[in-house]
């Protein structure tokens, strides 16, 4: 951790070319993540179709990705262990949010009648709040008792991959249920559920792919001596590239939503259309206001005998 912070603190001219490329990529992906997750959050808030209990965990995931991009963008300019800890917190929140969405779909598909009785938007909101509080306490408060290195690079990875295993098993059970649901589920409903399950699996696989290098290499950097770190150029290989992948992952999720869910195509299209329509109407009003005094003055001159 300290070596990564040192890499961002030294002047750019003192860094190797690969280190500079890593920092530039991390910065670019961070700003991209901020932008596209902001668009997703606007879409979820603006389009009434998404004001549904099914999308609450997706909103939690998008918000955590937005904050991840913001925090990692900040670390490229002003490195801080607290910022890294916060980014670790948002990673746990993202995993637990995917788990929450998977549990919601599992209950909806395997026990549809029970799901309608017990599930509600309020319960999902409360679950999301608990996820954020639990993740914050785990990463930000627990280092008071044990070191951040142990929490950030031993406890958190173990927890995350345990959650990933649960998500994978749940999605497999959902797929099995969908294959035997022909008697009580319409083709359209089955296709929609299949699409959501595939989305959750892709999100999980993307998360693991981008997070695994960090879990493998960062502990080595944290617990190695400075001599060992410099000998293998750990700043460049073991820290820079995994951090770039972590930043990329937060920006990829909105693209996956757009790719796998047609409702997001329509929602974002409507968002931009309404935004452009409002801009045009505002420009027309401004132009009319600007012309009004001239028209009034002209009329007053013509009225003079």
Q: What is the pLDDT of residues 242-263, one digit of tens each?
A: 778 888 888 999 899 888 888 8
Decide if pLDDT at 294 tops 70: no
Question: CA angle at residue 289 from 283 to 291, to 5 degrees?
Answer: 105
Give the pLDDT score at 40: 92
Distant-in-sequence, close-in-space partners of 128: CB < 8 Å, separation ≥ 6: 56, 57, 59, 60, 97, 100
pTM for the predicted model, two decimal places: 0.79
Overall average pLDDT of the 100-114 stretch: 86
**CA dist., res. 50 & res. 44, Å (int):** 5
- How crowded is residue 47: how many other Cβ atoms within 10 Å of its Cβ? 19
Task: Classify the phi-psi angles of 185: left when phi > 0, otherwise alpha if psi is within -120 to 50, otherwise beta.
Answer: beta
Which pLDDT score, from 0 to 100, does residue 59 have?
Answer: 93
Res 16: pLDDT: 63
The predicted model gives 11-33 an average pLDDT of 75
Say what percent of the chain tops pLDDT 70.
72
Most confident of the ranges 33-42, 74-83, 193-202: 33-42
- Alpha carbon distance 16, 65 (integer Å): 29
Going from N- to C-terminal start, the domains of the chain cover: 2-260, 270-305
Burial of 143 per CB tally in 10 Å (0-12, 13-18, 19+) = middle
Q: For Cα atoms 183, 185, 190, give the angle at the middle one, nearest 5 degrees.
A: 125
Q: Is the pLDDT of residue 23 over 70?
A: yes
Calpha distance 236→254 (Å, rounded): 28
165-193 pLDDT, tens digit per residue, is: 999 888 888 888 777 765 566 777 777 77
Tokens linked to 183: 């008697």
Residue range 2-260 forms a domain whose CATH class is mainly alpha
Contact present, 249 and 26 (Cβ < 8 Å): no
């Amino acid at each position: 951790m300290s070596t990564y912070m040192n890499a961002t603190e030294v002047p750019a001219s003192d860094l190797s070319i690969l280190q500079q490329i890593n920092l530039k990529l991390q910065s670019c992906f961070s700003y991209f993540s901020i932008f596209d997750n902001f668009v997703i959050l606007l879409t979820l808030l603006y389009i009434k179709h998404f004001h549904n209990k099914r999308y609450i965990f997706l909103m939690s995931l998008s918000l955590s990705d937005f904050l991840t991009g913001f925090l990692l963008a900040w670390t490229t300019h002003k490195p801080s262990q607290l910022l890294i800890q916060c980014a670790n917190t948002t990673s746990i929140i993202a995993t637990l949010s995917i788990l929450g969405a998977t549990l919601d779909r599992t209950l909806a598909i395997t026990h549809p009648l029970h799901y309608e009785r017990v599930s509600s938007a309020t319960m999902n909101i409360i679950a999301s709040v608990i996820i954020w509080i639990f993740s914050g306490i785990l990463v930000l408060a627990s280092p008071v008792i044990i070191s951040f290195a142990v929490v950030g690079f031993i406890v958190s990875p173990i927890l995350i991959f345990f959650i990933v295993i649960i998500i994978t098993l749940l999605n497999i059970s959902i797929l099995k249920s969908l294959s035997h649901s022909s008697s009580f589920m319409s083709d359209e409903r089955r296709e929609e559920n299949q699409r959501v399950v595939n989305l959750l699996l892709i999100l999980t696989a993307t998360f693991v792919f981008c997070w695994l290098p960090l879990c493998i290499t960062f502990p080595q950097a944290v617990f190695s001596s400075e001599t060992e770190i410099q000998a293998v150029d750990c700043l460049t290989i073991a820290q820079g590239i995994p951090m770039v992948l972590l930043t990329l992952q937060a920006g990829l999720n909105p693209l996956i939503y757009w790719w796998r869910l047609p409702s997001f195509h329509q929602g974002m299209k409507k968002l931009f259309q309404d935004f452009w329509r409002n801009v045009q109407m505002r420009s027309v009003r401004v132009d009319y206001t600007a012309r009004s005094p001239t028209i009034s003055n002209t009329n007053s001159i013509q009225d003079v005998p």
